[in-house]
A and B are shown apart, each in its own frame.
Chain A
Amino acid sequence: MASVELKSICKSFGSVEVLRDVNLSLEKGEFVVFVGPSGCGKSTLLRLVAGLEDITAGDLYIDGARMNEVLPSKRGISMVFQSYALYPHMNVFENMAFGLEQARLNQAEIKARVAEAAEILQITPLMERKPRQLSGGQRQRVAIGRAITRKPRVFLFDEPLSNLDAALRVDTRLEIAALHKRLSDTTMIYVTHDQVEAMTLADRIVVLNAGQVEQVGRPMDLYEQPASAFVAGFIGSPRMNFVTGETAEKHGAHTLGIRPEHITISRDAGEWSGSIVHIEQLGSDTYVHVRTEEAGIVNARAIGANAFRAGDDVFLTFQSDAVHLFNADGLPVGSART
């Protein structure tokens, strides 16, 4: 039995339709990431599951029970908010205990649960502090701790890392992954606009675009076999190169997609020729932007440091088995692979 099931979910705010006919089925213990550009409806979908918004049409089931009209606190879910949403006048312990008090647990049980969550997140020494005395990363831990203490069946994250600086974001991402391993019975739904977070954390990714599910699948499936040009462009960093016009038509497609890592650069010979307009050195990789006659500006990856300079004339060759072909509607031509 699926842990969370969404059947033909629709959501409108007044006359604006934000979600259209969303069908999803999440397994127990699965880590699912909703990803998409801003305004695609991913946060709204999460808030529908949480019960913070009403479902306009369709049904939501958690562990087989219909949840449309059930109060948020009775759904067996916990949520971590983007801004942490800690209660500013309570200390860390009170923040974590508040939900348990509302559930009328006895004091000993509350203390035990808070202590356990604090232990997992290593915030035991901070118990007496107020949120304003904590750093951003510590606040985030408290917010996660508050969610853990309720022992939810489903754990919801609404862009939890977007307020952290880059280094802390990577650390916290790893911690969330570790938390998922530890709470293996808990289904997790995680909303982000960052495809790196989606790729690294997810068991399955749900790509949303303009209120509809574009594709659902394991990260590498989405990477290797995107179901549309939109998914192909959204998953993978840096972005896939898209080539239209004569060059694409030669391959029998409206749009030809090729990832930077599937293009090799050479000074001597290749399929496309052009001159380098810009070079991005990342240390392990170098991304070379080449203006070609056949395909416009193409981004290609070269491994390690190399001798290319802006202005150099180079040739590009792409691996023909890694090419994605799309028709005018952005859908794959026949099979995505040639």
Chain B
Amino acid sequence: MTARRWLTRAGFYALVVVIIVQAIFPFYYAILTSLEDGQALFEVNYLPAALDFSNYASMLTSGVFGRQILNSVFVAAVVVVISLFLAVTASYALSRIRFRGRGLLLLTILSVSMFPQIAVLAGLFEVIRTLGLFNSLWSLVFSYMIFTLPFTVWVLTTFMRNLPIEIEEAAIMDGAPPFTIIRRVFLPIMWPAMVTTGLLAFIHAWNEFLFALTFLSTDTQRTVPVAIALISGRSEFEVPWGNIMAASVVVTLPLVILVLIFQRRIVSGLTAGAVKG
């Protein structure tokens, strides 16, 4: 039977390789392309032929790409902070206070998150114009919340429901005022769940394209996904692949770094939350 066992093992690793290549290769090729210039771009190679950072240099120094990265950071960070603040307070109410229509409210929140973006686009455009937010970064903060809030509220409500209410009562008996209970008891326990949901909200806001394309009209206001799509070459027949790939790598790195930093937190949070303290 050893031959057969070897065959299964070989098959398993072949599958692993396929999955890894499928996941990693596009990004690897983007890095590869970003390091090449001129004609070299159009020669197919799988190992770096040259290390040329001129694409990065031209992306970051000429034009407004630096400004656009800051725009993206601003929008994503503000979305995460406001979403988490609203979600923590809302989930506390939704999980701990009994009121009429609580189940209906939760279902409504969930159904909102299922609207296709394109369905709300036209109406949202009117709202943004009425509020005077057109071509302002706050229009994105406002519209991204439509999709990040339902998600964060749901995840945190589920998490909060699983926290034994007796922990809160013990803190009350210990004489902790409400703000201290939130800061010293709730936040430390919920921290992993908040990191996980916050990170997903950040990624969503960072990657969003349709709203960013619609609600912003000038180059200096744009966020990176739109900016990259609109990069143009010296003539309309030239697609500057080198620059596009360099920009793509630059905007992907922050996400990779964030996930790597919080990876442990996320994993420990998912397991620690399941075990009662």
Chain A residues near B (Cβ < 8 Å): 50, 52, 71-74, 77-79, 81-83, 85-89, 98-99, 102-103, 130-132, 146, 150
Contact = CB atoms under 8 A, between A and B. Distances in A.
A99 B184 CA distance: 12
B227 to A, nearest CB: 42
Contacts of A150: 174
A137 B39 CA distance: 73
Interface stretch (B52-60, B79-87, B105-113, B165-173): B165-173
Contacts of B275: 132
B170 A79 contact: yes
Contacts of A85: 164, 166-167, 169-170
Given A74-B175, A102-B174, 18 more contacts: A71-B175, A72-B175, A73-B172, A77-B173, A79-B169, A83-B164, A83-B276, A85-B170, A86-B277, A87-B170, A88-B277, A89-B188, A89-B189, A99-B173, A102-B176, A132-B277, A146-B174, A150-B174
B271 to A, nearest CB: 10
Given A89-B189, A99-B175, A103-B175, A81 B277 contact: no
Determine chain B's interface SS by DSSP, over half rule: helix
B175 A82 contact: no
Which of B166, B276, B277 has the most chain A CB within a 10 Å cutoff? Answer: B277
Nearest to A143: B170
Contacts of B176: 73, 98, 102
B166 A87 contact: no
A181 to B, nearest CB: 24
29 contacts: A52-B173, A74-B175, A77-B173, A79-B169, A81-B166, A81-B170, A82-B166, A83-B164, A85-B166, A86-B167, A86-B277, A87-B170, A87-B189, A88-B167, A88-B189, A89-B188, A98-B171, A98-B174, A98-B176, A99-B173, A99-B175, A102-B175, A102-B180, A103-B175, A131-B277, A132-B275, A132-B277, A146-B170, A150-B174
B277 A79 contact: no
Contacts of A73: 172-176
B142 to A, nearest CB: 35
B15 interface: no
Contacts of A88: 167, 189, 272, 276-277
B185 interface: yes
A146 B169 CA distance: 14
Nearest to B172: A72
A99 B275 CA distance: 24
A146 B176 CA distance: 14
A69 to B, nearest CB: 15
Interface string B170-200: 1111111000100011001100000000000
Contact of A81 (B169, B184, B189, B272): B169
Size band of the interface chain B makes with A? 20 to 34
Contacts of B167: 85-88
Contacts of B277: 86-89, 130-132
Interface in B13-40: none
A314 to B, nearest CB: 50
Contacts of A78: 173
Contacts of B164: 83, 85
A7 B110 CA distance: 48
B172 A87 contact: no
A75 to B, nearest CB: 9
A87 B175 contact: no
Contacts of B170: 79, 81, 85-87, 146
B173 A50 contact: yes
Nearest to A71: B175
A99 B166 contact: no
A74 B175 CA distance: 8
A103 B174 CA distance: 8
B179 to A, nearest CB: 12
A248 to B, nearest CB: 46
Nearest to B165: A85
Given A89-B189, A131-B277, A79 B184 contact: no
B71 to A, nearest CB: 36
Nearest to B180: A102
Contacts of B188: 89
A73 B172 CA distance: 7
A83 B166 contact: yes
A-B pairs, top 5 by smallest CB distance, nearest first, are A88-B277, A73-B175, A99-B174, A85-B166, A85-B170
Given A88-B277, A89-B188, A79 B180 contact: no
A176 to B, nearest CB: 18
